[in-house]
């Protein structure tokens, strides 16, 4: 069953700033710079933009970006909720708007000073808790469960228990993504690979699940994408990346950055649902995917992605990774830019830029003959195809 | 880190009133009789807005657990263990596991509720190994 979005829309341009620990400029400026880079990449101008989508968590208001980019006539703007869950949701929203005729060229932006400004890794003061999150956070905060690492780890420990997976197993993902990042001049951890021993010697953040080297970075930076129709993209500067499928998921029993209430939490039902939607929309299967960019806020979620999408069976991700399947030259190279652990934490949107580079054949760690790339953030996902 | 106080909303005041009274209270749909936690105003199964409160036995088991080591609550002693407790009624809730060494915690271990007063008048439900 194809959705209305499937194959009618494309990513025509990608842009990004440098990724750092201290950008030295405003989040608005990062958003404007990344947007301009995406326009230049696509060969479009600010006057072409008539739609805009970002995360509800982004601090840059639409009017601010309109004023700075000199956008003349914005006709569609919307936001996708809940942190990393928005990663591919912004593409779905933008593509749906284009497919429905509500906009012709939609700018997606996500920019923040997440290391030098408000850090996600530290417990937030009560006043900082957003209204969308507070209703569930208050059931966890008084017990000392007050950061994404802690929320997520309580879910992942069940997975470790059910399948006998250890923290050392998780470390094998960290080693792979740091190896990929080591080749990527744009990665914060460029030329800084790690060994499994380094991983096992890093300090506990949440025992017995997450060590420091299981956790994504906190980063400053901005990323932008331009979504338009296949027809509009025909005479643009770059070969467009086709949006082959796009999906969001929120299931009864689900939750944000945690998963405590589904009957089975030794997996993640929403990822399974995203997989079912994407395979159904596209008619593709795991064997048709040449590279996957998977949201890696913490290393264990990679295991759930690989299993829920069917790249391997339940409980088999440990051996699948150990056998080299997610490395360059493996059956499905994962996070070839270094991921959120190795490149930077730009809330997942930097994964989409890497997917587009793989499809264009210009990635630093280029995979051979890339036809389809999966990008997943757990509660949203897309499959992109070469043009 | 200092332990944070919980806060109630209109939809779950009964739960925190229970904690104050030394009772673990659960919400059950008055129409289809399904249990739900965390609480909410509408039954997701039958859409009834009528619900009743029942006192949980306080017995359950450890479904999963973690020991935060970075920005953890300063307990002044053993590290605070956070556990997802599966109550024998079927609901799961997040709490702390006490009176057990971190390396002795096991998934599935039987636990029971008790209530503790922390500083600044913060009162919370806590769990410990059952039958001590």
Arithmetic mean of pLDDT, A65-94: 96
Residue A372 forms beta bridges with which residues? A385
Quick: pLDDT tens for A356-366.
999 999 999 99
- Is A38:A15 a contact under the CB 8 Å cutoff? yes
B84 touches chain A (CB under 8 A): yes
> What is the average pLDDT value for chain A, to the nearest integer?
95
How far off is chain A from B130, nearest CA to CA, in Å? 20
Which residues of chain A neighbour B95 with C-beta distances below 8 Å?
143
| Cross-chain residue pair B94–A140, CB shorter than 8 Å | yes
- How confident is the model at residue A7, as a pLDDT? 83
**DSSP for A309-346?**
TTSS-TT-HHHHHHTTTTSTTSSS-B-TT-HHHHT--S
Say whether A138 and B7 touch across the interface (CB within 8 A).
yes
Chain B closest CA to A82's CA: distance in Å? 19
A-chain CB neighbours of B70 within 8 Å are 149, 203-206
Q: Looking at residue A1, what is its pLDDT?
A: 44
Query: A43 pLDDT exceeds 70?
Result: yes
Greater pLDDT, A131 or A134: A134
Position A123 confidence tier, pLDDT thresholds 50, 70, 90: confident
Instruction: Specify the DSSP element, H or E, that contains B12.
Output: none
Q: Mutate which of A125, A144, A210 to test chain B, going by most B C-beta atoms within 10 A? A: A144
Domains and CATH numbers, chain B: 10-55 (no CATH), 57-132 (2.40.50)
What b/e readout covers B61-84, taking b as 16+ CB neighbours within 10 angstroms?
A: bbbbbbbbebbbbeeeeebbbbbb
- Report residue A181's pLDDT band, with 50, 70 and 90 as the boundaries: very high
Q: Which residues contact B71 (CB under 8 A, 6 or more apart)?
A: A122, A123, A146, A147, B1
- Looking at residue B77, its pLDDT comes to 86
Which residue is listed with tokens 């008539």? A50
**Residues of chain A with pLDDT > 90: what percent?**
91
Cβ contact A27:A59 at 8 Å: yes
Q: Searching chain B, which residue's CA lies closest to the CA of residue A254?
A: B38
Which of A28, A108, A102, A161 lies closest to A380, judged by CA? A108
Helix H or strand E encompassing A164: none
- State mean pLDDT over A262-267: 96
| pLDDT, average across residues A34-54 | 98
pLDDT at A126 over 70: no
Confidence of residue B2 (pLDDT cuts 50, 70, 90): confident
| C-alpha–C-alpha distance, residues A41 and A95, integer Å | 19
A8-36 residue pLDDT tens = 999 999 999 999 999 999 999 999 999 99
The CA–CA distances, whole Å, from A289 to A76, A264, A382 equal 32, 27, 12
Residues belonging to chain A with any Cβ–Cβ distance to chain B shorter than 8 Å = 122-123, 126, 135-136, 138-147, 149-150, 153-155, 157-158, 161, 203-209, 252, 260-261, 265
Cβ neighbours of residue A101 under 8 Å, at least 6 residues apart?
none
Q: Is the pLDDT of residue B124 over 80?
A: yes
Of A135, A144, A209, the CB nearest to B3: A144
Q: Across the interface, do B64 and A161 touch by the CB < 8 Å criterion?
A: yes
Mean predicted lDDT score pLDDT of chain B: 95
Q: Which residues contact B99 (CB under 8 A, 6 or more apart)?
A: B128, B129, B132
Report the pLDDT value the prediction gives residue A31, as an integer from 0 to 100: 98
- Are the C-beta atoms of residues A382 and A294 closer than 8 Å to each other? no
Contact A147 B38 (CB under 8 A): no
Q: How many helices (H) and strands (E) does chain B have?
A: 1, 8
Give me B84's structure tokens: 């997802």
Region B98-106 average pLDDT = 96
pLDDT digits (tens, 9 = 90+) for A331-368: 999 999 999 999 999 999 999 999 999 999 999 999 99
Are A142 and B122 an interchain contact pair (Cβ–Cβ within 8 Å)? yes
Instruction: Assign 3-class secondary structure to A33-56.
Output: HHHHHHHHHHCCCHHHCCEEEEEC
Q: Which of A114, A105, A119, A115 is nearest to A35 (CA)?
A: A105
* CA–CA gap between residue B63 and residue B109 (Å, rounded): 8
Whether A109 is catalytic is: no
Q: Is A190 a catalytic residue?
A: no
DSSP state of A104: S
Say if the Cβ atoms of A207 and B69 lie within 8 Å.
yes
Handedness of CA A174, A153, B73, B75 (dihedral sign): negative
How many Å lie between the alpha carbon of A212 and the closest alpha carbon of chain B? Answer: 9
- Kindly state the DSSP code that residue A102 receives in the 8-state scheme: S
Half-sphere exposure of A198 (CA within 13 A, CB side): 13
* pLDDT tier, A248 (very low <50, low <70, confident <90, very high otherwise): very high
Confidence of residue A131 (pLDDT cuts 50, 70, 90): very low
Segment A105-134 mean pLDDT? 79
The torsion angle over the Cα atoms of residues B34, B37, B41 and B44, rounded to 10 degrees, is -50
Q: How many CB pairs under 8 A join A and B?
A: 92
* CATH fit for domain A9-118+217-385, picks 3.90.1210.10, 3.40.50.620, 3.40.50.10320, 3.40.47.10: 3.40.47.10
pLDDT computed for residue A135 by the predictor: 57
Catalytic one among A76, A82, A188, A295? A295
**A-chain residues near B122 (CB < 8 A):** 142
């Amino acid at each position: 069953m194809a959705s209305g979005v499937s194959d009618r829309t494309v990513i025509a341009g990608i842009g990004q700033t440098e990724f750092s620990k201290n950008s030295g400029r405003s989040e608005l400026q990062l958003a404007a710079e990344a947007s301009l880079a995406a326009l230049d990449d696509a060969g479009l101008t600010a006057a072409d933009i008539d739609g805009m989508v970002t995360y509800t968590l982004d601090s840059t208001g639409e009017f601010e970006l309109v004023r700075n980019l000199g956008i003349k006539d914005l006709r569609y703007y919307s936001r996708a909720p809940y942190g990393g869950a928005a990663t591919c949701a912004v593409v779905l929203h933008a593509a749906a708007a284009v497919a429905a005729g509500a906009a012709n060229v939609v700018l997606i932006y996500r920019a923040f000073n997440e290391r030098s400004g408000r850090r996600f890794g530290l417990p937030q003061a009560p006043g900082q808790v957003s209204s969308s999150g507070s209703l569930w956070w208050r059931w966890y905060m008084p017990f000392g469960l007050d950061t994404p690492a802690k929320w997520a780890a309580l879910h992942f420990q069940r997975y470790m228990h059910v399948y006998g997976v250890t923290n050392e197993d998780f470390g094998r993902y960290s080693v792979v993504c740091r190896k990929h990042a080591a080749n990527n001049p744009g990665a914060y951890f460029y030329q800084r690979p790690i060994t499994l021993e380094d991983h096992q010697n890093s300090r506990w953040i949440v025992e017995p699940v997450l060590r420091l080297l299981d956790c994504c970075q906190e980063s400053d930076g901005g990323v932008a994408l331009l979504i338009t129709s296949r027809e509009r993209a025909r005479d643009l500067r770059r070969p467009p990346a086709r949006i082959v499928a796009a999906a969001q998921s929120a299931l009864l029993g689900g939750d944000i950055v945690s998963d405590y209430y589904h009957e089975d939490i030794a997996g993640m039902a929403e990822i399974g649902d995203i997989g079912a939607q994407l395979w159904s929309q596209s008619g593709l299967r795991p064997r048709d995917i040449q590279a996957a960019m998977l949201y890696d806020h913490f290393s264990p979620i990679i295991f759930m992605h690989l299993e829920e999408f069917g790249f391997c069976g339940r409980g088999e991700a440990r051996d699948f990774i150990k056998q080299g399947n997610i490395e360059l030259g493996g059956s499905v190279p994962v996070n070839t830019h270094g991921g959120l652990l190795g490149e930077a934490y730009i809330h997942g949107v930097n994964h989409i830029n890497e997917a587009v580079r793989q499809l264009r054949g210009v990635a630093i760690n280029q995979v051979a003959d890339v036809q389809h790339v999966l990008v997943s953030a757990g509660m949203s996902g897309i499959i992109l195809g070469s043009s | 880190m200092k332990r944070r106080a919980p806060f109630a909303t209109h939809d779950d005041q009964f739960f925190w009133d229970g904690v104050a009274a030394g009772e673990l209270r659960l919400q059950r749909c008055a129409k289809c009789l399904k249990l739900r936690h965390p609480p909410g105003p509408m039954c997701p199964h039958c859409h009834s807005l009528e619900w009743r409160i029942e006192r949980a036995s306080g017995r359950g088991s450890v479904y999963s657990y973690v020991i935060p080591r970075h920005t953890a609550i300063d307990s002044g002693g053993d590290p605070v263990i956070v556990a997802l407790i599966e109550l024998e009624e079927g609901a799961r809730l997040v709490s702390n596991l006490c009176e057990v060494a971190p390396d002795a915690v096991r998934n599935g271990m039987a636990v029971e509720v008790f209530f503790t007063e922390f500083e600044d008048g913060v009162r919370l439900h806590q769990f410990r190994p059952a039958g001590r």
